[in-house]
């Protein structure tokens, strides 16, 4: 219930970092390279975070599945 959806993170991370990069570009008077790099890093970071959360959740579900199978086998052996 308290988990966020990946779409929100994939959109907001690059946007917020790009806005920060735009501010830095304006202060320094440089080309928009900092903005572009910040947006790419924001997207990459969000994608990696979502992938790691997914991998962790799948590993946790696999452990629960294995434990449930062990419990069934123990209940079946005792009958």
The tens digit of pLDDT for each residue in 30-77 reads: 889 999 999 999 999 988 988 998 999 999 999 999 999 999 888 876
Tally of domains within the chain: 1
Give the C-alpha separation, 38 to 42, whole Å: 6
Give the H or E element holding residue 71.
Answer: helix 33-77
Q: Is residue 40 part of a domain?
A: yes
pLDDT of residue 55: 94
Containing structural domain, residue 66: 6-77
- pLDDT reading at 4 higher than 90: no
Give the C-alpha separation, 43 to 68, whole Å: 38
Task: Report pTM.
Answer: 0.72
């Amino acid at each position: 219930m308290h988990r966020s959806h990946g779409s929100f993170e994939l959109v907001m991370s690059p946007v917020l970092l790009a806005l920060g990069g735009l501010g830095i570009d304006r202060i320094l008077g440089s080309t928009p390279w900092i903005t572009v790099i910040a947006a790419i890093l924001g997207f990459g970071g969000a994608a990696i975070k979502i992938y790691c959360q997914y991998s962790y959740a799948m590993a946790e579900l696999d452990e629960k599945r294995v434990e449930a199978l062990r419990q069934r086998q123990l209940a079946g052996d005792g009958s």
